[in-house]
Amino acid sequence: MNSGFQLTTLDMVVIAAYFLVTIGVGVAMGRKVKNAGDFFSGGKRVPWWMGAISSYMAMISCFVFIAYAQIGYEDGLVGLTVFWSTAFAILLGTFVFARRWQRANLATPVEYLERRYGPGVRQFLSWCGVAFRILDNTVRLYTLGVIASQFLGVSLPVGIALGAGVVLVYTTTGGLWSVIVTDIIQCVVLMTVSLTILPLSLNAVGGLGELYRAVPEHFSLFGGHRGTLWFLAAYYMIVFIKYNGSWSFVQRLASVPNERDAVKMGLLSSAIFFVFPVLAVLPAVAARVYLPDLPPEMHERSYIEMCTRLLPNGMLGLMVSAMLAASLSTLAAEFNVTSGVLTTDIYKRLIRKDASERELLLVGRIGTVMVAALIAFGALFVSRLGGAFEANKLLMALFGVPIVIPTVFGILWRRPNANGVYLCFALGVVSGILLKTCWTGLSWEAGTFIQVAVCFIGYFGGCIFGTSKREMEGKTALFEELDVRVKGEER
């Protein structure tokens, strides 16, 4: 048994083998990439079950094993309730949005925005979206760097650079296909370790029954301040908006062959997100009994502590690989889709309208490197925002909601126009800054509800300024096409 962050030679061999396989897949899948469409959308040939697994892997990261582990250690099973917000968001989003995203026939998630709102909004949301995705992913890369530094004995900056470098190698080589195939491999690794540590954790505390008797009384599905209806309603709402506006999720929905497959993809992804929290949170809950005296700053590492004490040699290396896999998959998806927007929606539209497919492929790879570098730089400052969970909440509140609302709901509602997009963003950012960074005496939950309400008021309020003829013609044609396909045959 391991009693610290000491990796044996066998562990290091397992980790090295994992990295070599990951890089090898990227090189091998590069043969399938013939043009920019293959690089960014997989040529719309991705099987639905692969898309579902890839979507799941794209939405988790080391953040899961740190932030939700902290909740599990401090407040118990409410960690499951909070984590299940993702399953709910994807399930509801699948029925509301999946068919429409598939019918939009996208190369990048913001491609439809020009038809919906006009070229100005497409460029505006492209730039804003790229900026937000870079900021959002600094948190993911930060958590990966924390784990890499803990286990590999390197500094945080080196851990961040190592993670970004590995993702770059296979993402720039094979594009979306390499991302999806490596996601499958990484999912197998992640599930193998998760299914191993759960029974070991329960056995260490005397079984599930003994764990139930030993934990504090408030360790229920609705215990602690995070288990209140007010907090859960606000958190579920934010997660619904965030994940259904996730460029990588939209990209997966658009990469499968048809609408039926898009729905099946979403349902399977939601099901996985319902099961996995049990594997991720219960070991942290068991840690409260097995390791009751962890100092507050170690609560977010409770899952890691259980692994280092209970996993045998070799399995610890596999566990490190699994945790790295969670973040690598997410970052790979984000690098690819963000680079796609830079290439198709910015470079091709503004710089080289007649760029060849070969040129766009090269620009896409260069864009991926640029995105990775910016995310790595930003990851160095996440600790100054209060750590992973607080940084994630802050960035989503300040910038995510005002950007995502027009993108997500624009494909659903006809009435809002381009003026509403600009108002939504301006009012959302200003209200977010005032409510989240200034002293108002309001709770996070109250501030969140107010900001979302302000965003929707701005989004619909733009209608009073009228809609241009060009925008009206574009969105009318778009919705006629979408509505016809709703009633007609699937493609």
Six-digit token string for 169: 């190698």
Going by C-alpha positions, the residue among 160, 481, 191, 203 that lies closest to residue 322 is 191
480 Cβ partners below 8 Å, 6+ apart? none
Domains of the chain: 9-385 (1.20.1730.10)
Long-range pairs for 78-81: beta carbons < 8 A, 24 or more residues apart: 78/219, 78/220, 78/221, 78/222, 78/223, 78/224, 78/226, 78/227, 79/277, 79/281, 79/284, 79/285, 80/221, 80/277, 80/278, 80/281, 81/221, 81/222, 81/226, 81/227, 81/232
Q: Are 363 and 347 in contact (CB under 8 A)?
A: yes
Other C-beta atoms closer than 10 Å to the C-beta of 353 total: 8
Cβ burial, residue 398 (10 Å; 0-12/13-18/19+): buried
Angle CA 63–65–66, to nearest 5: 65
Query: What is the pTM for the complete model shown?
Result: 0.80
Contacts of 441 (CB under 8 A, 6+ apart): none
Can you give the pLDDT of all 491 residues of the chain as single tens digits? 444 456 778 888 888 887 787 767 766 765 555 544 544 444 567 788 888 888 887 777 677 787 888 889 989 899 999 999 999 999 999 999 888 888 877 666 677 788 889 888 888 887 887 777 787 778 778 877 877 777 777 788 888 888 778 777 766 655 556 667 777 777 888 888 888 899 999 999 998 888 888 888 788 888 888 889 999 999 999 889 888 887 778 878 877 888 899 999 999 999 999 998 999 899 999 999 999 888 887 888 888 889 888 888 778 888 787 777 667 767 776 777 777 777 777 777 777 777 777 777 787 778 778 888 888 888 887 776 666 556 666 666 677 788 889 988 988 888 999 999 999 999 998 888 888 766 667 888 888 899 999 999 999 999 898 888 888 888 888 888 777 654 444 44
CA angle 483–108–270, rounded 5-degree value: 70
Closest listed residue to residue 301, CA positions, set 6, 72, 15, 57: 72
